[in-house]
Structure 1
Amino acid sequence: MLSRLAPTLLLLACHFSIQAETLPNYVIIFTDDQGYNDLGCFGSKTIKTPHIDQLAAEGRKMTNFHVPSSVCSPSRAALMTGCYPKRIGMHKHVIFPNQKHGLHPDEMTIAELLKQKGYATACFGKWHLGHTPELLPTSQGFDEYFGIPYSNDMKHPANKGKPKIPQDESWLKQGETFSAWGTPLIEGTEIVELPVDQRTITRRYTDRAVKFIEDHRDEPFLVYLPHSMPHIPLFVPDDVRDPDPKNAYTCVIEHIDAEVGRITDTLKKLGLDKNTYLIFTSDNGPWLRFKNHGGSALPLREGKGTTYEGGQRVPCVVWGPGRIPAGTSSDAFCTTMDLFPTIAALSSATPGERKTDGHDISKVLHGQSPSPRTEMLYYTSSGELKGLRQGDWKLLLPLARKNAPKHGKVELFNLTEDISESKNLAPEHPEKVEALKSRMTELDAEITRNARPRWSKS
């Protein structure tokens, strides 16, 4: 009897072993300069985002989710590595086309983390972590890359001769003006289109993501989809363009939403939805000075380029049917740095011995526990130490200026009671100011001592 049952028992054992070792897929959608208020599920009354709202209805909305920088390159470096930008030498503002530095290839990215477990990996979109061949995604753990190497308002090769076109005019005549921006489109390490037709780029990124998912449906995969939009100049395909410039930003976000719908439809059609984590978030807050070409961070204060909440608290939706509790919202304090160790834990991958700054928030995403994160340092867009969040409290200090008085004032906010940072409590709580200042200095000193260099081409 046992001999006859042996093959069946062996097959069952193999089946359960395979099931136990099934690795989840990941889709990370990272928009550019999208504000906290720029989704229906985050309170927008003017922008319709039914597909992302549906993700929130089927998943988890993260309302206290942050990026560790208010500008592009440092923020993206933190997402990829789980580190403060200063720890990896990527904190001093963004990378321009005439600069030859970027994220050091010795750093481990999320893609390299997952390659250990046999994942297929792809990046479709804006990279902005270095544009020389040694620094592009295919040298940083991604099997495929299709996208622009830096912001869509930057010009190849040295950022010279950029057009001075008013944003409203650019939107009205986008069929004529897109060619004025000399931004390259790269496949692998080669420029394949110069200038890139920005009218269709959001859709083409999604086309590539959909095909990659279809091609790799039978193996674990990572799709990193960092959209170029809604960074100015704004463009959409002609068939979805609202000709009124007042609606330009709304039109771009609604187009991104439709393209997100194509991704989720593909996952559902292929039966991959229940084994996939999809994370939708932004690299920093909205570029407010561009008015109808920029978004909204309400009820938060300020936007891109600042250390106020509007610059670094971003919308985030996490979707994973059967894994993420549906229709839930979490105010747990989390950051993009936490995604690296979280994905490592979910995939049983080894993050290596290099010091990182993220926390495993997998239990937070699954609705099982509070966040392990209690603190976050604030640095300016140029990498200067500015403040500390600790629990409910947030301290921002005036910046020291060479041969000049400090700029600004000491500010202390209780974010639980005052999310808009409207009431400065520093005069009332000098002891809290001193305690946070001491801790801020201590944390930054450790990062400074152990900072690793960025890569630079001599």
Structure 2
Amino acid sequence: MKILISTLFCLFFLTRAEVFSQEIQRPNIILIFADDLAYGDLGIYGAKGWATPHLDQLARDGARFTQFYVPHAVCTASRAALLTGTYANRLELFGAIDHTAKHGLNPEETTIAEMLKSNGYKTGMVGKWHLGHHPEFLPTRQGFDRYFGLPYSNDMWPNHPEVNGYYPPLPLIENETVLAYLEDQRELTSWYTQKSLEFIEDNQNQPFFLYLAHSMPHVPLYVSDKFKGRSEQGLYGDVMMEIDWSIGEIRKKLESLDLSENTLIIFTSDNGPWLSYGGHAGLQAGLREGKGTSWEGGIRVPAIFTWPGTIPAGVIQNQAAMTIDVLPTLANLSLSPLPTLPIDGRNIWPLIQGKPMEDKPYFAYYNKNELQALIYGKWKLVFPHTYRTIPQGTEMRNDGLPVKYTQIKLEKSELFDLSTDLGEQTDLSERFPEILQMMNEFAESARKDLGDALTGREGSGNRKAGRIQEN
């Protein structure tokens, strides 16, 4: 009987795979992840002061999400979640690790690159990694055939404006070799773009996965001479226009190689704007707070999915989704098996095509495993916690130096209807007790599974980060 059931299952899977492959050819995949790019930083999302024509066209040619999230409003955790389809706190990865870290993404976890490589894809990464700088944690040990970029954030170098003498020289790495230590970052976006084009050219005759993780517009801002002074806004706008140019160059390369209709491009960001940097930070577009918080300005990001001829043009998707959904969606499209260890995302291919799906709860964690917020459809519940904000009346700067945050304690849970209150100003918890109860039940399930430092809970489903073996 077991053999019969197994045989029927295999026949079902093969039949499904054959039908799917007849409907949709297995695509090349380009995943572009910007750093600290805000929800309002693209023209099609309302940007003023600079132009992003290539990104705007990318959105018009496919699907644009208006309620897309990262689960962690900070670098390392956000990247771990994207590449594994799993909340980073489940993986024991928090915050933004630096050159002193002895840990990184556990090699036992499955990245998008490993999943696709096992299914015949060529894999390459260009840009900021930030999941461990020791050799055993580098991209080449996590499923990528090639790597070119920085091991962590571009401000983790001797020129940091607030930390004197802490950071060593910033290494530019190819595969596992340090090519140089950067003293200037003006050509970084151009270098990333060129390496991306080379990867596409070299792998045009086979399925490929390119992960392009731009270091910009994270501070310190640098732009090449070809874009210096191009925007009305200033340096931040110049940087955004160069990122937009990079997307244009990639699309031009795909067209020249006749690959456009077999390539899925995804564009999103790792979190919202670093507001303390004033004119060197992005646009909140009416959202509350920014990077480093679980308010909408910290975790809501632009998201575009384009695949000409397969994803309908002009889709505007208003349902909530999250970066943890990218891996299972790509598994479905590439007919790849999901990781053996449990993940947290789901396949959102129907949403990308403009179709509805049942809402699911999404959780926002920050600091050392604090469950700070929960999103379910249009509803958001924010739990009591301490968060950073810029005091009212602070004179903002535009010279690359930050102003100081202050800490505020949210004393009680607050419930918001995001469909009418993007700025999270009106607490509806007393008006909708049944919604509050439902949201608290979702939160309790997360605390049991993932833990919650705010309520002193240990999660039963958490795993360990990778750690270097020290003598």
Normalised by the size of structure 1, how large is the TM-score? 0.87
Distance in 1 separating the partners of 2:195 and 2:225: 20
Distance in 2 separating the partners of 1:240 and 1:275: 31
What are the residue-to-residue correspondences of 1:408-427 with 2, within 5 Å?
Answer: 408-427=411-430
Question: What letter corresponds to residue 330 of structure 2 in structure 1?
Answer: I
CA RMSD between the two structures: 2.4
Partner in structure 2 of residue 317 of structure 1: 304
Distance in 2 separating the partners of 1:21 and 1:151: 37
Match of 1:335 among 322, 332, 335: 322
Partner in structure 2 of residue 118 of structure 1: 120
Question: What letter corresponds to residue 344 of structure 1 in structure 2?
Answer: A
Distance in 1 separating the partners of 2:98 and 2:110: 23
Distance in 2 separating the partners of 1:400 and 1:165: 23
| 2:234 counterpart SS class | helix
Q: CA deviation at 1:429?
A: 3.2
Partner in structure 2 of residue 40 of structure 1: 43
Q: CA deviation at 1:20?
A: 7.4
Are 2:164 and 1:164 equivalent residues in the alignment? no
| 1:209 counterpart SS class | helix
What are the residue-to-residue correspondences of 1:229-378 with 2, within 5 Å?
Answer: 229-242=216-229, 247-367=234-354, 369-378=355-364
Distance in 2 separating the partners of 1:36 and 1:53: 13
Is residue 81–residue 356 contact of structure 1 (8 Å, CA) maintained in 2?
Answer: yes
Q: CA deviation at 1:17?
A: 12
Query: Which segment is superposed worse, 192-201 or 378-387?
Result: 378-387
Question: What letter corresponds to residue 371 of structure 1 in structure 2?
Answer: M
Are 2:10 and 1:24 equivalent residues in the alignment? no
Partner in structure 2 of residue 78 of structure 1: 81
Is residue 185–residue 196 contact of structure 1 (8 Å, CA) maintained in 2?
Answer: no
Distance in 2 separating the partners of 1:386 and 1:56: 31
| 2:32 counterpart SS class | strand
Normalised by the size of structure 2, how large is the TM-score? 0.85
Is residue 93–residue 383 contact of structure 1 (8 Å, CA) maintained in 2?
Answer: no
Q: After superposition, give the CA deviation of every residue in 1:395-436 in whole Å (9 maximum; x if it has no partner).
A: 1111389xxx97533211011121221211123334433432
Is residue 49–residue 231 contact of structure 2 (8 Å, CA) maintained in 1?
Answer: no
| 1:439 counterpart SS class | helix
Match of 2:365 among 362, 372, 379: 379
Q: CA deviation at 1:196?
A: 5.5
Q: After superposition, give the CA deviation of every residue in 1:31-68 in whole Å (9 maximum; x if it has no partner).
A: 00000000001011222000011111211111111111
Q: Gapped runs of 5+ residues in structure 1?
A: 1-15, 156-160, 167-179
What are the residue-to-residue correspondences of 1:143-182 with 2, within 5 Å?
Answer: 143-155=145-157, 162-164=159-161, 182=169
Q: After superposition, give the CA deviation of every residue in 1:119-171 in whole Å (9 maximum; x if it has no partner).
A: 0000000000000000000000000000000000003xxxxx544389xxxxx
| 1:281 counterpart SS class | strand
Instruction: Write 1 or 2 for the structure with the bigger share of helix.
Output: 1
| 2:445 counterpart SS class | helix
Partner in structure 1 of residue 110 of structure 2: 108
Distance in 2 separating the partners of 1:127 and 1:325: 32
Are 2:443 and 1:440 equivalent residues in the alignment? yes
Distance in 1 separating the partners of 2:245 and 2:87: 33
Q: CA deviation at 1:359?
A: 0.7
| 2:245 counterpart SS class | helix
Distance in 1 separating the partners of 2:263 and 2:168: 36
Question: What letter corresponds to residue 199 of structure 1 in structure 2?
Answer: R
Distance in 2 separating the partners of 1:143 and 1:212: 10
Partner in structure 1 of residue 173 of structure 2: 186
